[in-house]
Amino acid sequence: MDILQKNILEVKDLTKDYPGFHLKMDLAVPAGSIMGLVGPNGAGKSTTLRLILGLAHPDSGSIQVLGCSDLNKAPALREDIGVVFDECSFPEMLDAAQIGKVLGKIHPRWDKARYEQLLKRLELPWGKKIKDFSSFEKNPVTRDPRTEAQIRAYREKEQARARYLRDKKQWERYRETLGDGVPKSFETFRRHKLAGDEKYKIWRLDYKRQNDLVLHPEKALPGAATASAAEAKFTKYFFNPENQNGWRKGVAFSSRLGYNGTNWQKMRAEILKAAQKYPATLRGASVHGSSYSQDVILYGLKGNPANVQIGWIVHPDGTLHLVTAHMEDL
């Protein structure tokens, strides 16, 4: 995969402990983006950078920089990484020309012409010693040099970028949980989200429900993996014009989801698959067994997902059977 199409930095489950200090972090920096570490003294900003650069070893977790998990084993990759510290690490008696000579011997890909071009562009004297250059301590900035309009435009741009990244992370979570129920294209997903339309509301509801089961596995429908749904429930109930109660439900399924008397097997397959993905609620118990309901999303054949409540019964022998199903408003 091209580096421009993935994260240039990924930190997962990173921990580092020192006496009186504990660092725990997860972060990802997509290619082409800018990220800042903000926090009080002692929060772990410098420690994080040292861990990323391989100057310290984590106690646990993983770090990948440009796809590499250990920079110490890939010295050539360091040529693609630039680090600027808050303090100058060169001897103060050196000038820009001397520093250029030092760096030229250290870095195989040192671009002397580019270095000289930048010195000229930034108006840095070629022969001036480091100790004579200005610094924040010597010449602190007292006000933002930008105009109010520039500051406002910058903030609006950053806010838009933050919303974009949040939406993309949301789309990635939804795709991971809901699969092809959510568009493969992030742009399509975001268009529905910005419109706040029914499809986006259904995706949001579906993610909430399925994620609820992930967080609370005790809510699973008993026996869902071996659930069954009788053929007669579809052919003689949902899609039988002579059964008025079932027919009304079947007409709704046909209109919204595209299921009917000729493809009912696909509807049954989707219902049985959904049984394992959503939390269930116990509704009652009798000598015949325990009754459960599930609120699920069925995606059907027409690209118009529907909010559906399904009724189940767990018999005393442990078998699980479909009792009914009907569409509900969001």
Higher pLDDT, 236 or 94: 236
Is the same domain home to 47 and 75? yes
Does residue 167 sit within a domain?
Answer: yes
| pLDDT score of 276 more than 90 | yes
- Residue predicted with more confidence, 25 or 85: 25
Q: 169 and 103 in one domain?
A: no
Residue after which a domain boundary falls, among 182, 198, 215: 215
| Rounded Cα–Cα distance for residues 186 and 272 (Å) | 29
Q: How confident is the model at residue 214 (pLDDT cuts 50, 70, 90)?
A: very high
pLDDT band for 1, please (50, 70, 90 cuts).
very low
Residue 277: pLDDT band by 50, 70, 90 thresholds?
A: very high
Whether 136 has a pLDDT exceeding 70, the answer reads: no
- Has residue 189 been placed in a domain? yes
**Residues 160, 205 within the same domain:** yes
Q: Where are the alpha helices (DSSP H) in the chain?
A: 45-52, 96-106, 112-121, 148-178, 186-195, 198-215, 231-233, 244-257, 264-274
Q: Which residue from 172, 185, 181 is spatially nearest to 296, judged by alpha carbons?
A: 181
**Measured between alpha carbons, how far is 302 from 313 in angstroms, rounded to an integer?**
29
Q: Residue 311, SS3?
A: strand
More confident residue, 10 or 169: 169
CA distances from 87 to 79, 95, 100, 123, 324 (A): 21, 16, 18, 20, 71
Asked whether residue 137 is assigned to any structural domain, the reply reads: no
% of residues, the chain, pLDDT over 70: 94
In a domain? residue 287: yes
Range of the domain at 296: 218-327
**pLDDT at 86 (0 to 100):** 65
Same domain, 171 and 231: no
Residue 228 and residue 314 in one domain: yes
pLDDT at 84 over 80: no
**pLDDT tens digit string along 38-56?**
877 777 888 888 888 887 8
Both tokens of 18, joined, read 């020192």
Average pLDDT, integer, range 17-26: 81
Cα separation, 93 vs 132, whole angstroms: 9
32 lies in some domain: yes
pLDDT at 4: 47
Residue 71's pLDDT is 75
Examine the domain organization and report whether 270 and 257 are in the same domain: yes
On whether the pTM is more than 0.85, the answer is no
Tell me the mean pLDDT in the region 103-114: 85
| Domain end residue (candidates: 215, 245, 265) | 215
Do 202 and 262 belong to one domain?
no
Does 56 map to a domain?
yes
Do 209 and 222 lie in a common domain?
no
Beta partners for residue 306, in sequence order: 298
Quick check: helix, strand or coil at residue 286? strand
CATH number of the domain enclosing 10: 3.40.50.300
Residues 115 and 205 in one domain: no
Same domain, 21 and 105: no
pLDDT of 268 higher than 90: yes
In terms of pLDDT, which residue wins out, 326 or 77?
326
Does any domain span residue 184? yes
Point out the least confidently predicted range of 7-11, 20-24, 62-66, 220-224: 20-24
Total domains, the chain: 4
Note whether 31 and 101 are same-domain residues: no
Residue 316 shares a structural domain with residue 244: yes
Is 138 domain-assigned?
Answer: no
